[in-house]
């Protein structure tokens, strides 16, 4: 089960503005939150981190 396309598109735009992993509303993902980080990585959002 993947993330809804609309949510993913929004999440990508939010992630482009941050240099750390963030959730779909722009809040930094806690490094201990492995479940969210796994989804973040599986959805390919790691390639949109602001450099």
- Total domains in the chain come to 1
> Would you say residue 1 has pLDDT above 90?
no
Tell me what the mean pLDDT of segment 24-49 comes to. Answer: 95
- For 30, the domain range is 5-48
Kindly report the number of other CB atoms within 10 A of residue 45's CB atom.
Answer: 23
pTM: 0.85
Percent over 90 (pLDDT), the chain: 90
Q: What is the mean pLDDT of the chain?
A: 93
Run of H or E including 8: helix 5-15
Find the mean pLDDT for residues 31-35: 96
Dump pLDDT digits (tens) for 4-15. Answer: 999 999 999 999
Residue 51 CA to residue 3 CA, distance in Å, equals 24
């Amino acid at each position: 089960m993947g993330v809804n396309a609309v949510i993913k598109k929004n999440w990508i735009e939010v992630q482009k503005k941050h240099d750390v992993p963030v959730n779909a509303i722009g809040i930094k993902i806690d490094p201990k939150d492995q479940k969210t980080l796994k989804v973040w990585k599986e959805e390919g959002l790691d390639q949109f981190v602001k450099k």
